[in-house]
């Protein structure tokens, strides 16, 4: 047992840290540090910088653009990119549909779709949740029927993150209404420009436009737009969701936010002096750090288990629960450090050069706190994760 990073891993960490420091455009970094919304172009620009280095899809097979890094190195990479305030990879392509395509897709699908994910020339979004199918995803009602040389899709998806930017959507749709609910679902790849696709924005409590409703009104797509076998979509979805939970701990994001909290807490932003001088605040900050340190070690344990048997670990539900709770705790602390000047509202979607009403360091701390309540809800709510632990780990 040796829990230190090896010389090689330490050198790698230094290399990634330096790369992010030297290559992340200042304008993107400034927005991320302040907690402001990134534009589509910011994501594309950073992904292209990574792709040019060969680092945009590290965990993929090498033949499709992956790096061949060990799981520990992949984790170090993610941690450094997140802590360095770089944009996160667009998970819908990189972590979700990409692995589904290279694992279950046809050769033609691999050639058509994987390169566009590597350099983000194709932006993907996720067509899973529906108004009547949230935690009970398998009860989804969007239907696909075969008609000549086409599949015809009809129904509605919701909570579709960044669908307004998307070129493609992957969709779970019912192909056999007679079968048991998990056994009649198929997995489709669909062009957002297809006639009959409508995207309607949903405004979230922070005022932002992140999520959407997507309507399919008899949308015709080719027969080869199905992934793998008909009626096996639920298996691919389970594979995808298990992948989604890897990296969901977002340890680096929370570290970056804690860095920001310490930075602001060290300067006397109000007359009462630096917040860090308050022992009660220090203790609360330390409590979150303890949780995060433990989570970081737990994540390493899960990673090293995976290395051994290759299967997703139900312990990743532990990562989801703690990781999301810690993200929320850090947004609360940041709001507390910012203090009275959390009050002014700034429209996250406004394209304006007008300076903020309050001091610039205040940023949208309250908006991010409100927005971050989503993390215990999405990706399988924390209650769903507790159910998984009870069944898969405890056998209850």
Which residues belong to the active site? 244
* Among the residue ranges 100-108, 163-171, 220-228, 310-318, the one whose residues contact other proteins (CB under 8 A): 310-318
Contact between 344 and 358 (Cβ < 8 Å): yes
Residues 24, 292, 333, 337: which binds other proteins (CB under 8 A)? 292
d(CA 177, CA 385): 28
- CA 333 to centroid of chain Cα atoms: 22
Q: Which is nearer to other proteins, 235 or 325 (CB)?
A: 325
Pick from 156, 298, 316, 372 the residue near other proteins by CB under 8 A: 298
Q: Which of 297, 343, 350, 357 binds other proteins (CB under 8 A)?
A: 297
185 pairs with which residues across the strands?
A: 174
**Binds other proteins (CB under 8 A): choice among 24, 321, 338, 367:** 321
Give the interface size with other proteins as a residue count (CB under 8 A).
46
Site residues (CB under 8 A) for other proteins, limited to 232-291: 255, 258-259, 262, 279, 282-283, 285-287, 289-291
Which residue, 53, 97, 99, is CA-closest to 77?
A: 53
Nearby residues of 394 by Cβ (< 8 Å), 6 or more positions away: none
Residue 260: both structure tokens together:
């920001």
Q: What is the rounded distance in angstroms from the CA atom of residue 219 to the CA atom of residue 198?
A: 10
- Residues 70-89 binding other proteins (CB under 8 A) are 72
Find the binding residues for other proteins in span 89-128 (CB under 8 A).
none
d(CA 16, CA 20): 6
Compute the least distance from the CB of residue 301 to other proteins, in Å.
6
Nearest distance from C-beta of residue 194 to other proteins, angstroms: 41
Nearer to other proteins, 193 or 308 (CB): 308
Q: What is the phi/psi pair of residue 193, to 5°?
A: -85, -5
CB 73 to other proteins: min, Å? 10
**Half-sphere exposure in the Cβ direction for 252 (13 Å, CA):** 19
Using CB under 8 A, which residues numbered 347 to 386 contact other proteins? 383, 385-386
Do 379 and 244 form a contact (C-beta atoms < 8 A)? yes
- Residue 222, H or E segment: strand 209-222
One residue of 152, 241, 300, 377 binding other proteins per CB under 8 A:
300
**16 touches other proteins (CB under 8 A):** no
DSSP category for residue 206: T
How far is residue 275's CA from residue 283's CA, in Å, rounded to a whole number? Answer: 12
**Should residue 3 be labelled a site residue for other proteins when binding is judged by CB under 8 A?**
yes
**Signed CA dihedral, 375, 381, 387, 392: sign only:** negative
Asked if 395 is part of the footprint of other proteins (rule: CB under 8 A), the reply reads yes
Under the rule (CB under 8 A), what is the footprint of other proteins?
1-6, 9, 72, 255, 258-259, 262, 279, 282-283, 285-287, 289-298, 300-301, 304, 315, 317-318, 321-322, 383, 385-387, 389-390, 393-396
């Amino acid at each position: 047992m040796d829990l230190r990073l090896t010389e090689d891993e330490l050198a790698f960490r230094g290399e990634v840290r330096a790369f992010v420091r030297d290559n992340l455009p200042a304008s993107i970094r400034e927005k991320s540090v302040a907690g402001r919304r990134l534009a589509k172009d910011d994501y594309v620009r950073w992904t292209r910088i990574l792709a040019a280095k060969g680092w945009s899809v590290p965990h993929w097979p090498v033949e499709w653009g992956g790096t061949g890094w060990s799981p520990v190195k992949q984790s170090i990479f993610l941690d450094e990119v997140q802590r360095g305030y770089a944009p996160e990879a667009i998970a819908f392509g990189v972590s979700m549909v990409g692995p589904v395509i290279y694992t279950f897709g046809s050769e033609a699908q691999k050639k058509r779709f994987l390169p566009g994910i590597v350099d983000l020339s194709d932006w993907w979004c996720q067509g899973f949740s529906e108004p009547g199918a949230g935690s009970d995803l398998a009860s989804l009602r969007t239907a696909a029927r075969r008609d000549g040389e086409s599949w015809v899709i009809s129904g509605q998806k919701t909570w579709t993150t960044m669908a307004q930017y998307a070129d493609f959507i992957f969709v779970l749709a019912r192909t056999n209404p007679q079968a048991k609910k998990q056994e009649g679902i198929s997995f489709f790849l669909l062009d957002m420009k297809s006639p009959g696709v409508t995207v309607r924005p949903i405004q979230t409590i922070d005022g932002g436009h992140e999520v959407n409703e997507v309507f399919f009104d008899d949308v015709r797509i080719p027969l080869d737009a199905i992934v793998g076998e008909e009626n096996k979509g639920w298996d691919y979805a389970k594979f995808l969701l298990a992948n989604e939970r890897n990296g969901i701990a977002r340890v680096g994001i929370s570290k970056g936010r804690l860095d920001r909290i310490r930075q602001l807490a060290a300067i006397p932003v109000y007359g009462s002096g630096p917040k860090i001088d308050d022992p009660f605040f220090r203790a609360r900050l330390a409590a979150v750090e303890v949780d995060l340190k433990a989570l970081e070690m737990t994540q390493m344990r899960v990673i090293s288990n995976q290395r051994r048997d290759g299967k997703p670990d139900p312990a990743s539900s532990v990562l989801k629960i703690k990781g999301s709770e810690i993200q929320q705790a850090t947004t609360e602390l940041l709001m507390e450090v910012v203090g009275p000047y959390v009050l002014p509202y700034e429209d996250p979607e406004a394209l304006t050069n007008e300076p903020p009403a309050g001091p610039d360091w205040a940023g949208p701390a309250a908006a991010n706190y409100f927005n971050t309540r989503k993390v215990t809800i999405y990706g399988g709510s924390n209650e769903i994760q507790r159910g998984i632990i009870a069944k898969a780990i405890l056998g209850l």
